[in-house]
Chain A
Amino acid sequence: MSKLIAQAPALANRLAAQASPKLQTFWKYAKVELAPPTLADIPEIRAGISRLLAAARTARWKEVPVREAWLNSLVTIEVLCWFYVGECIGKRHIVGYDV
């Protein structure tokens, strides 16, 4: 056991060296895809919301092809599921509340 602890820094270095290209690719994608919205995106966000409301009002959603409607529903469900992920983080327990 003490030998393992003595080798731990060397192992950590090797792990970091092996993982860093993968980490770098992950970081490259995460910076674009996972980043939170910045203040500069607010006008786009507002335009998007108004587009959604206008489409709902003018009943344009009846003319959307089924494939697009399916993809839109999948994305909507995914966005809504993040609420439950946040709830699990907030209650600090995976399934149910730990009282």
Chain B
Amino acid sequence: MSGLPAAVRVSPLIKFGRWSLLTLGVVYGAFHQGRLSRKEAAFREVEDKQKAIRDAKVAEEKKRAAEREIAELEALAK
């Protein structure tokens, strides 16, 4: 273990740049994540409301189509 090369003395400017960019990245990541999740939550709310309306319409359509089919079948059977 005595044949290990000596540790490289990294220039303080490079160390400062690395660590400051790292912390900046963490802060930016957290901030952007919060901003995007808030936007997505708002969009999801609107989307859910629209989905409820759309589901009601589709159910209505299906009911009407089923009733029409039953009426036609009865007319055929008569």
Q: Do A and B bind each other?
A: yes
User: Is B36 an interface residue, CB under 8 A from the partner?
Assistant: yes
- Chain B residues with Cβ below 8 Å from A32 are 7-10
Task: Check: A68 CB closer than 8 A to any chain B CB.
Answer: no
Interface of B is mostly: helix
- Number of chain A residues close to chain B: CB under 8 A: 35
Rounded to whole Å, the gap between the CB of A64 and the closest CB of chain B is 16
A87 adjacent to B25 (CB under 8 Å): yes
Q: Which of A48, A52, A91 has the most CB of B within 10 A?
A: A91
Contact residues of A between 5 and 47, Cβ < 8 Å to B: 21, 25, 28-29, 31-33, 35-37, 41, 44-45
A interface residues (Cβ-Cβ under 8 A, vs B)? 21, 25, 28-29, 31-33, 35-37, 41, 44-45, 48-49, 52, 75, 78-80, 82-93, 97-99
Q: Which 8 A-B pairs have the closest CB atoms?
A: A86-B25, A90-B29, A48-B13, A41-B12, A32-B7, A87-B29, A99-B40, A90-B30
Seen from chain B, the residues whose Cβ lies within 8 Å of a Cβ on chain A are 1, 4, 7-19, 21-33, 36-37, 39-40
